Amino acid sequence: MRTENEHTIYFKDYAPSPYRVLSVDLDFRIRPENTRVRALLTIEPHPDTAPGTPLVLDGDDLRLESIALDGAPMLAADYATDANGLTLVEPPHRRFVLETEVILQPQGNTKLMGLYRSSGTWCTQCEPEGFRRITYYLDRPDILATFKVTMRAPRDVAPVLLANGNLLEKGAADDGMHYAVWHDPFPKPSYLFALVAGDLGSIKDSFTTASGRAVDLAIYCEHGKEDQCHWAMDSLKRSMSWDERRFGREYDLDIFNIVAVSDFNFGAMENKGLNIFNDKLVFAQPESATDADYDNIERVIAHEYFHNWTGNRITCRDWFQLCLKEGLTVYRDQEFTSDERSRAVKRISDVVTLRSAQFPEDGGPLAHPARPDQYREINNFYTPTVYEKGAEIVRMLATLLGEAGFRKGMDLYFERHDGQATTIEAFLAAFAEANNVDLEHFKTWYLQAGTPKLTAEDSYDAERQSYTLTLSQETQPTPGQPTKQPLVIPLKFALIGPNGSPMNWSDVSGAEVRDDLIVLDAARAEVTFTGVSSRPVPSLLRGFSAPVVLETTAGMEDQLFLARHDDDPFGRWQALQDVGMALAIAAIQGTPWSEADVPALSAAMGDTLGSESLDDAFKALALQLPSEAQIARNIGKDVDPDRIHEVRAALTRAVFEPIALPLLQRYRALSSDAPYSPDAASTGRRALRNRAMGLLVASDAAGAAALAAQQYHDAKNMTDRLAALSASALAWTGEAPALLADFYERFGGNPLVLDKWLAVTASVPREGVIERIGSTLADPAFPKTNPNRLRALMGTFAMNNPTQFTRRDGAGFRFVADFVGEVDKINPQVAARVLTGFRIWPMLEQSRRKAAHSALSALQSKGALSRNTADILARMLAS
């Protein structure tokens, strides 16, 4: 029996390696049968290393063919191999060259870590611990070495041979083979290694950096898909130029290559000079990609490119520091999108993502700090907390220091740590020193899990003309952290006067207040403003200035006032959400809606729709009620998802049916014959038009189902077609079955579009969905080795179909648990990710909780699970 902490790695145990690797010389002989890898590692002991200290190299699933030290074969007594790698018992106490030769079987590698084949193309994924599946190595991010790579492969199967860095030479070899030699001059950790060999098409372009260097750009893909890569290329060039303008960061190699592959565990990977992408984040054409796809491509291309400075030039000392590169790089890609498109719309969408992905993680059994202090399986920590909360922490830093102060900190960080593997402490020190401030308390954000609840109460004293905000914060315990410290919370605010514009005050006391920012750093503070001429309505947490849950005593009237008058677009959007939430929760708890409230929300929605100052994309975000998942979270315990579903549907009808006519008019006015363009204004137009259509369908407006069906058939782009399909399917209109059948017929042969059909099918909130998904999965033609297909079907079901996944009879839970058990044998990362859908189970009502627990226990009793899945399961059951 395995003990709980057998594999647990602790932050506190970090120690530098006793040996370092100076350079790596790899030679790959790639053949359809197998691949042979010869590695020459130039290694030296650290000056403090005691003579005779063993050298322990990581290795996973390798077959060792030969081993030599400084050219002489090693004796069996001098080394040992086991399931975790290779140990040199007593290496020389000087610089030496270790030569190993291993054989790999990439075609059988369904885990998609290390070297594997995707549709015939050989490719690699090494982050975080995949390089050890290619050769024996010190596979940890603080070992930085230069790499030279020689690759040989059959010319007919693999005319394209790529690796990191610059191409030194290429040419023909015997037996129909050819070769290429690549050299990467930048010392890098092994997780950034990459190689691609295959028969690929490409598009090429070039970029001239600010200092005048020309960089050759290329995107490689399956033949015939080249013309779908232009949006990605355009996004790349805009990213390169933005990083120069905004952060003064230039690209550093002469080549930047991107390769699109169809089997990939994640979105994309920032390997030095050779990014590898999930093809769904490269291919775009209007007939098969939606506006959301175009947005995602732009965002992820930017994200991976930005890693060149935040991740590659400066990397992580150890995997506990993952958010050093991920949180920071997400912040950078968010800023890129904000500058390229609409800042307000981007902020609201990011908050929606944070609340729907990160908050549930932070409030459930899988909660962990942005910098975790322990892990059993690092792959399970590529999470919304590390990425999205990590970005929020960086954003708070920027809010606290101001734009100029933040930039000074970034400049110092780049200057001081270029070429290093470093830590969160070093990152914060750069900001603290550049701005001469103390960030010790702020650092708690990285160490403490859980979403703080921030409570604001206010009172106005007309006689004294003083206004007091009483603020308090509290964070609930999370696994392993029973007690919580107060955090430094930057609270952006304004006091809105009766005429809708921000008010002034003559003095303020009780907390650090600068212009529009209160810095709350204690559990409680009373902030008093004097010289306030009338009772203001507070606009709090403007721009969502901190990742907290805000609770205020504001009544419906104040919220409706903010929904109309707040000059902060986020605040305005939030106010509408708050009113919707209050009504939904009241109904669920059996308090009927007051006569006036629903019409008031309806009217506020109608005014939003009709406003001339708000843009379409904002309106599309504002015109909706909080999601079922969001409502569930606000209720927090004994949740009954069926009841939430019913109430939300009824409230949707009650709020939007009265404005059906303006919605329909707007729908018609927004139709356009202009050719498709992914720019922000056109995207916003489609978003609002499709929102109007969706609301009409969801509120059962007369003729709406037919309107959606019509739009489906007439659509000239995938955005409009999919919106019509999904509105019809979610409401299960009379037309829905025929539309679904038609979509499958038309697009079933295009895997990326098939994913959209799978996802819509899996999210239908009706009985019978499990059977339908089950038969799709059971089809022998369904590719169980492709992560995109599996996630579209089962990821969507577990994360995005609250009523059916949590069925009271447990059928949904058992279905997902059985799937996880089966797919775990093929691809543990995909299995573990789907299993995280269970994280909501502790907040369900008792019968569903029991059903979830028994499905999880049954999975555990099967045994033989991967470390990935066993880790998630153990944490899920510990709660």
Catalytically active residues, by annotation: 304
- What CA–CA distance (Å, rounded) separates 319 from 14? 10
* Residues in the chain, total: 879
Decide: is 763 part of the binding site for ligand TRP (CB under 6 A).
no
At 423, list the tokens: 């830590």
Q: Which of 125, 239, 786, 868 binds ligand TRP (CB under 6 A)?
A: 125
What are the angstrom distances between the C-alpha of 283 and each of 206, 293, 549? Answer: 19, 9, 37
- Do the beta carbons of residue 242 and residue 298 sit within 8 Å? no
* Least spacing, CB of residue 7 vs ligand TRP, in Å: 19
What are the angstrom distances between the C-alpha of 468 and each of 441, 460, 508, 561, 627? Answer: 26, 6, 9, 20, 33
At 745, list the tokens: 């017929």
* CB nearer to ligand TRP: pick between 269 and 834: 269
* Least spacing, CB of residue 390 vs Zn ion, in Å: 10
* CB nearer to ligand TRP: pick between 604 and 834: 834
* CB nearer to Zn ion: pick between 24 and 297: 297
Q: Which of residues 326-365 bind Zn ion (CB under 5 A)?
A: 326, 329
CB atoms within 10 A of CB 587: 20
* Closest residue to ligand TRP: CB criterion: 266
Place of tokens 């982050």: 127
* Least spacing, CB of residue 21 vs ligand TRP, in Å: 21
- What CA–CA distance (Å, rounded) separates 285 from 229? 9
* CB nearer to ligand TRP: pick between 307 and 814: 307
Segment interacting with ligand TRP (CB under 6 A) among 37-45, 208-216, 262-270, 527-535:
262-270
What SS3 state is found at 327? helix
* CB nearer to Zn ion: pick between 221 and 268: 268
* CB nearer to ligand TRP: pick between 119 and 602: 119
Could you say which DSSP state residue 169 is in? E
What SS3 state is found at 601? helix
Segment interacting with ligand TRP (CB under 6 A) among 95-103, 179-187, 261-269, 758-766:
261-269
Write the binding mask 487 to 526 for ligand TRP: x where contact by CB under 6 A, - elsewhere: ----------------------------------------
Write the binding mask 268 to 307 for ligand TRP: x where contact by CB under 6 A, - elsewhere: xxx--------------------------------xx---
Closest alpha carbon to 165 in 141, 145, 142, 149: 149
Q: Within the chain, what is the greatest distance between any pair of CA atoms?
A: 95
Q: Which of 124, 257, 262, 265 binds ligand TRP (CB under 6 A)?
A: 265
Segment interacting with ligand TRP (CB under 6 A) among 267-275, 557-565, 618-626, 813-821:
267-275
* Least spacing, CB of residue 307 vs Zn ion, in Å: 6
* Least spacing, CB of residue 266 vs ligand TRP, in Å: 3
* CB nearer to Zn ion: pick between 326 and 578: 326
Closest alpha carbon to 10 in 378, 477, 315: 378
Closest alpha carbon to 554 in 534, 566, 539: 539
Write out the DSSP string of 794-833: IIHHHHH-HHHHT-TTSHHHHHHHHHHHHHTTT-HHHHHH
* CB nearer to ligand TRP: pick between 124 and 150: 124
Residue 269 interacts with which of ligand TRP, Zn ion, none, CB < 5 to 8 Å by class: ligand TRP
Residue 382 interacts with which of ligand TRP, Zn ion, none, CB < 5 to 8 Å by class: ligand TRP
Write the binding mask 318 to 337 for ligand TRP: x where contact by CB under 6 A, - elsewhere: --------x-----------
* Least spacing, CB of residue 322 vs ligand TRP, in Å: 9
* CB nearer to ligand TRP: pick between 164 and 803: 164
* Least spacing, CB of residue 802 vs ligand TRP, in Å: 27
- Binding residues for Zn ion, total number by CB under 5 A: 2
Round to the nearest angstrom and report the end-to-end CA distance of the chain. 21
Decide: is 257 part of the binding site for ligand TRP (CB under 6 A).
no
- What CA–CA distance (Å, rounded) separates 615 from 456? 30
Phi/psi-derived region of residue 467, left when phi > 0, alpha when psi is between -120 and 50, beta in every other case: beta
- Do the beta carbons of residue 852 and residue 810 sit within 8 Å? yes
Exposure class string for 795-817: b at 16+ Cβ within 10 A, else e: bbbbbbbbbbbbbbebbbbbbbb
* Least spacing, CB of residue 256 vs ligand TRP, in Å: 15
C-alpha torsion sign, points 787, 791, 794, 798: positive
Closest alpha carbon to 80 in 93, 71, 67: 67
At 590, list the tokens: 């059996």
Decide: is 266 part of the binding site for ligand TRP (CB under 6 A).
yes
Place of tokens 């270790």: 98
Segment interacting with ligand TRP (CB under 6 A) among 34-42, 181-189, 265-273, 629-637:
265-273
Q: Which of 186, 382, 797, 813 binds ligand TRP (CB under 6 A)?
A: 382
At 132, list the tokens: 């050890």
Q: Which of residues 309-328 bind Zn ion (CB under 5 A)?
A: 326
* Least spacing, CB of residue 365 vs ligand TRP, in Å: 22
Q: Which of 58, 60, 99, 127 binds ligand TRP (CB under 6 A)?
A: 127
Binding site for ligand TRP (CB under 6 A): 125, 127, 265-266, 268-270, 303-304, 326, 382
Binding site for Zn ion (CB under 5 A): 326, 329
